[in-house]
Structure 1
Amino acid sequence: MTTVIVIVTVTVLLLVGLGFFVATNSGSRPRNRDVAPDHQQNGYSGASCGPDAAD
């Protein structure tokens, strides 16, 4: 019975810790940083050939 209690306790702590980690990370970090290039704003789609090519 002690093993079951330990497993349940560890699982609950892991889930709570993971949920807290995800909640704090998603809230504190902006989605688009100014440091990284924003591909939607500068029009770069990753295509080097085809109808969307720059040249």
Structure 2
Amino acid sequence: MDLDYLYHRHGVSLLMAENAACDRSRRVHRFLARAYAGRIADAVRDNRVAIA
């Protein structure tokens, strides 16, 4: 997966959470942001392992 895409989706999810109209939407967008952050961390970690 392209890291630029993941960073973009993470940022969009954070923005959507910040501007959500209700708590439920805010929670869902925060959950998505955490999921994207996890995928970013995995990709970065996997890349470091491949380089080492």
Query: Structure 2 length normalisation: TM-score?
Result: 0.51
Asked which structure has the greater RCO (Cα within 8 Å, sep 6+), the reply is: 2
2:12: which partner in 1? Answer: none
Task: Indicate yes or no: 2:23 matched with 1:9.
Answer: no
Q: Equivalent pairs: percent with the same residue?
A: 3
Structure 1 segments unaligned to the other structure (5+ residues): 31-55
Determine which structure has more spread, i.e. the larger CA radius of gyration.
1
Structure 2 segments unaligned to the other structure (5+ residues): 1-21
Q: How many residues align?
A: 30
Backbone CA RMSD of aligned residues: 1.1
Query: Structure 1 length normalisation: TM-score?
Result: 0.49
Which residue identity does 1:21 align to in structure 2? D
Deviation sequence 1:17-54 (CA, Å, 0-9, x none) = 10000100111135xxxxxxxxxxxxxxxxxxxxxxxx
Which residue identity does 1:9 align to in structure 2? R
Runs of 4+ residues over 4 Å off in structure 1 = none
